[in-house]
Amino acid sequence: MCQNKLIMINSSLINLNLINLILLVLCLGSICFYCYGIYAGLSFFRHPYAFDPNYNPPVTILKPICGSDGNLYDNLATFCQQDYPNFQIVFSVRDSEDTAIPIINQIIHDFPKLDVELVICDRIIGTNLKVSNLANAAVSAKHPILVLADSDIRVGRDYLKQVIQPFQNENVGVVTCLYRSLAQNWVTIIEALRQTTEFSAGVLVSNQLEGSIKFGFGQTIVIRKQALIDIGGFEAIADYLADDFQLGYLPAQAGYEVVLSQYIVEHELSAISIIDAIKQQIRWASCIRVSRTWGYLGLIFTYGIATSFALLVFNVSQYGYRSNASYVSFGVLFITWLTRLIMAWVVGVISLKDSLVKKCLWLIPFCDLFSFFIWCYCFLDNRIEWRGRRLKLAKDGKMIAIC
């Protein structure tokens, strides 16, 4: 009987030590990630891409639009005010009753000297209706380089001149941009902080480690028309949730180089409820999970706020506040949180010039805990909601409509 009790006690101690070890390894991994994120954030903008003011190839901007949320007119107008000699803009909507149509017509009226066109077409080529919208717009594209940008993006007058520069290299097939988000309420403040200090940090780390990236972001994707043809056109990505990822990944697989531009666009986040924000985050996290499964699993090493807190709670509950294990846990938590906040400052304030990060840096721990819970949830369910449609994700990242 005594022997059995000793075995049970030893087994419990082993389990406790194992949990401690796992949590400690996760914390140390997070600290390493944060430190490298600081380095990546500082180094990325130190080496600007070669700029040739005389390099101005003609481009077509494709703007898929659904609805008139946010400051749509102001956002679209920034694309019409480019300091660029030869560009075309094609706006595209699927529904002839879309509320954005009067705003687009006003844009066309206000910029009569520009080559601007509105396409209204309900043709569907796949489950992803945004891609169908892009495909319908692409039919009217006149130029060999396409600029794809969401309707909630606003840019400066030098946007086209900057993002087009990497195409001086004939091997470049795709250029994409990081972004800073403009928040409208407290819910979107959380989202904006996450995008700038978490998502962008991960992108910069990936770019620094590999020397390039192999994916794109819907905020801006500049792609050679030939590269799009080589991957099978928009039809090749028409059923994928992560269409922007595929527009970088597939050209990279076809031998083209994908470049992360140093130009930062502004992304307007419309005011939404907490429920809508959670649904949106589940959709975006699901994008990453089905597109880059191993990368998604590896995100556990970026959630140091959560794992260091769990380590502290575990040791305090098991050994008390005054134990050596708890003292070590307090030290690990302090170092982890400090490096996380420094990375947020470097990436958000120094690199991306995001004033929101400077004002709301103290909210970063709450943002990370929110991200961690979303990360966990997305292992449990493959269903998402998108613009009122219920969809299921297949293992390859394609979407299946749920009746």
Output the six-digit token pair for 214: 């192999």
Rounded distance, CA 258 to CA 75, Å? 26
Residues 247, 289, 207, 195, Cα dihedral to 10°: 90
pLDDT confidence of residue 220: 93
pLDDT confidence of residue 12: 44
Residue 184 is given by DSSP the state S
Q: Is 356 exposed, middle or buried (0-12, 13-18, 19+ CB in 10 A)?
A: buried
pLDDT confidence of residue 339: 97
Residue 100 parent element (H or E): none
Rounded distance, CA 336 to CA 306, Å? 10
Largest CA distance in the chain: 92
Rounded distance, CA 226 to CA 244, Å? 17
Residue 234 is given by DSSP the state G
User: Could you tell me which of 104, 398, 107 has the C-alpha nearest to residue 243?
Assistant: 398
How do 115-120 and 87-93 pair as beta strands? parallel
Residue 261 is given by DSSP the state E
pTM comes to 0.88
- 3-state SS, residue 203: helix
63 within 8 A of 149, measured Cβ to Cβ:
yes
50 within 8 A of 165, measured Cβ to Cβ:
yes
How do 221-224 and 383-386 pair as beta strands? unpaired
For the chain, count helices (H), then strands (E).
15, 11
How do 257-268 and 172-182 pair as beta strands? parallel
* List of domains in the chain: 21-44+296-399 (no CATH), 59-274 (3.90.550.10)
Output the six-digit token pair for 303: 């959630």
Burial call 383-396: b when 16+ CB within 10 Å, e when fewer: ebebeeeebebeee
pLDDT confidence of residue 95: 92
Rounded distance, CA 280 to CA 265, Å? 20
Output the six-digit token pair for 33: 């990630």
303 within 8 A of 340, measured Cβ to Cβ:
no
Residue 233 CA: distances (Å) to CA of 226, 237, 292, 330, 342: 9, 8, 22, 53, 42
Rounded distance, CA 74 to CA 354, Å? 20
Per-residue tens of pLDDT for the chain, all 403 residues = 555 544 444 444 445 578 888 999 999 999 999 999 999 999 998 887 788 989 999 999 999 998 887 789 999 999 999 999 999 999 999 999 999 999 999 999 999 999 999 999 999 998 889 999 999 999 999 999 999 998 889 999 999 999 999 999 999 999 999 999 888 778 788 888 998 999 999 999 999 998 888 888 888 999 999 999 999 999 999 988 888 889 999 999 999 999 999 999 998 877 677 787 788 788 778 878 877 788 888 899 999 999 999 999 988 888 787 788 788 889 999 999 999 999 999 999 999 999 999 999 999 999 999 999 999 988 887 777 766 677 777 776 677 777 5
Any idea what the Cα angle at residue 244 is, between residues 137 and 115, rounded to 5°? 30
- 3-state SS, residue 398: strand
Rounded distance, CA 52 to CA 164, Å? 10
